[in-house]
Chains A and B, each alone.
Chain A
Amino acid sequence: MSAYLELQAIRKQFGHTNVLNQINLQIREGELVTLLGPSGCGKSTLLRCIAGLADIDDGKIILDNKDIVNVPPRSREIGMVFQSYGLFPNMTVSENIQYGMKMRGASKEERRKRSEELLAMIDMEEKRGAYPQQLSGGQQQRVALARSLAVQPKVLLLDEPLSALDAKIRKSLRTEIREIQKRFQMTTIFVTHDQEEAFILSDRVCLMNKGSIVQEGSPEELYTRPKTEFVARFMGSYNVLTKPEALRLFGQVDSQAERFAVRPESVALLGGDDRQTALNEGKQIIDGSIESVSILGSIIRYAVNAADVKLTIDTLNDGRPLRQAGGGGISLALDRSQLLPLEKEGA
């Protein structure tokens, strides 16, 4: 893999705490990588370091074969979009978009042409003369995006750009961002704390915790093969089991690991006829009882108690009759191949 942007052993401290701890990351040209993690994990700080808005204590940032650590932000050729848009309130939409080109000495004609192209791209030609206060949050963020793209940066950084928007606009805007990113083949780093957002948008996801990247990979890899308990828990409703719990449920466990993860959709609730089929498939069958049921649209989520282990089980809301909580015993089918051993945290 030839890296276009490469972070080598980035380290940063605030006082005595390590905010960024030996971060290594390689990003290909045109790739969209997400930094995902809980708040305070260092993802936004890392982004600010790449942009040059924060200094690093150690390490290298290589962009297009050039170390840019000592280059001031204005010369790094990096664009950035902030959560709170950062539009200039004293300028119109089109002046905002043209600002970067103006600073780089583009001619008036060139600026006007490019800003019209971008306005057309974000479908806001009508608003070219409006001021930022007159726009909705989603519109402001589209203008901010267009403004960053106007100067054709080598890398685009998006710092939780959708977090301030309501759910509906967030969904449509993330699709728009992905389309634009693909069209321009823009090397992009997207920061978010929203797992769903990260999975939908990214070519690759880096999950961060306490200043380190704990796991990176495609959304599918991250979801199906979490390495540690933190990753498994962050991915959503994974069941994390201790070794004794795993033994009680699965009978035997061929691993030295102390913790295990089981995906909620890999456990099946058995109906009357399914028992034999499940046995034939070599699955482990265990009895339990339902403690609560919640319907999440297309998914039904059961909280189940089996062998003194609390399990979350997701089934498709496919029209089969709903099992009621406390409605007597049920049987679960467990697939031993779906029991994922987890590494120790920080190992």
Chain B
Amino acid sequence: MIGKAKKAGWVNRTLMVALMFYLLLPLLATLIYAFAKEWQATILPERWTLEWFSEMFGDARFMDALWTSLYLCAISVALSLAIMLPAVFIITVYLPKWETFMKGVVVLPYAVPGVVAAVGLIRTYSTGPVPIAGTAYILIGAYFIVILPYMYQGIRNSLLTVSAVELLNSAELLGASRMRAFANVVLPNIWPGVIISTLLSFSVLFGEFVLTNMLVGGHIHTIQIYLYQRLGESGHLASAIVISYFVFILALSLILMKLTQKMNRGIQG
């Protein structure tokens, strides 16, 4: 038995390592390429440089694109939070009958492929009463829909995990008004979960390419579009951008993981 278990462990580990290698190899190559000065006939580059990074950070368009991406994502997520938090709260606590309907609605973004959604949106909004195709507004609107499932599920799960209804009932019976009960008792307890959904949504948007490119590709240069455009110019530079982009998303993911752990600890006591 023990021998068998050991053998299985050994096989598992080899598979894991092989898989990790397979997944990380392109990234590793990109990383090396981003720091390589000359790299032709050798396994590792002959000379190293920070040139590409300095070129990237020196490029005003990169900083602009980064900034554009950051604020478009931030606005979309903030808007979603402002609308979804009260909406999900009211549905979960006071209108549980609507939940089935909402569950259907929030999976729609998964059901409609990005390309289809983009074409549909351009068709609808290029003329007519709201001609916003190609502007930041249509992008923010589309982003709102993209993160709808994450926000809805995240907020709803937090509410259910802390038994929000029961907390509210307790607070109300102790003399608190509904608003006050929400602020004192529900909000502080769902906050960690809400932050996680927010960050998750943010990183999803930051990595989204199809919708962004199709909707505003020619007009607004987000970091994704900037990256796409420079890809053809210099492989080294593109690698530097990809690595920076990856490090940013990685940092975001790490923060997410830490927060999730902290929250789970809090719940389990």
Contact = CB atoms under 8 A, between A and B. Distances in A.
B172 A73 contact: yes
A91 B185 CA distance: 9
Interface string A187-227: 00000000000000000000000000000000000000000
A84 B166 contact: yes
B174 A84 contact: no
B185 A78 contact: no
Nearest to A89: B189
A126 to B, nearest CB: 17
A86 B170 contact: yes
Contacts of A88: 167, 170-171, 184-185, 189
Contacts, number: 71
A147 B189 CA distance: 19
Interface string A59-74: 0000000000000111
Nearest to A72: B172
Contacts of B172: 53, 72-74
Contacts of B188: 90
Interface in A8-61: 51-53
B176 to A, nearest CB: 5
B268 A73 contact: no
A296 B176 CA distance: 48
Contact of B173 (A51, A87, A133, A134): A51
B162 interface: yes
B62 to A, nearest CB: 42
A84 B269 contact: no
B176 A86 contact: no
Give the interface size class of chain B: 20 to 34
A10 B124 CA distance: 55
A320 interface: no
Nearest to B269: A133
B17 to A, nearest CB: 39
A131 B269 CA distance: 9
A133 B163 contact: no
Given A86-B163, A88-B185, A90-B188, A133 B175 contact: no
B267 interface: yes
Nearest to A77: B175
A79 B173 contact: yes
B144 to A, nearest CB: 30
Top-8 shortest CB links A-B: A133-B269, A100-B174, A103-B175, A86-B170, A90-B188, A86-B166, A73-B172, A103-B176
Interface of A: 51-53, 72-76, 78-80, 82, 84, 86-90, 99-100, 103-104, 131, 133-134, 147-148, 151
17 contacts: A52-B173, A73-B172, A82-B166, A84-B163, A84-B166, A86-B170, A88-B189, A89-B162, A103-B171, A103-B175, A131-B269, A133-B266, A133-B269, A134-B269, A147-B174, A148-B173, A148-B174
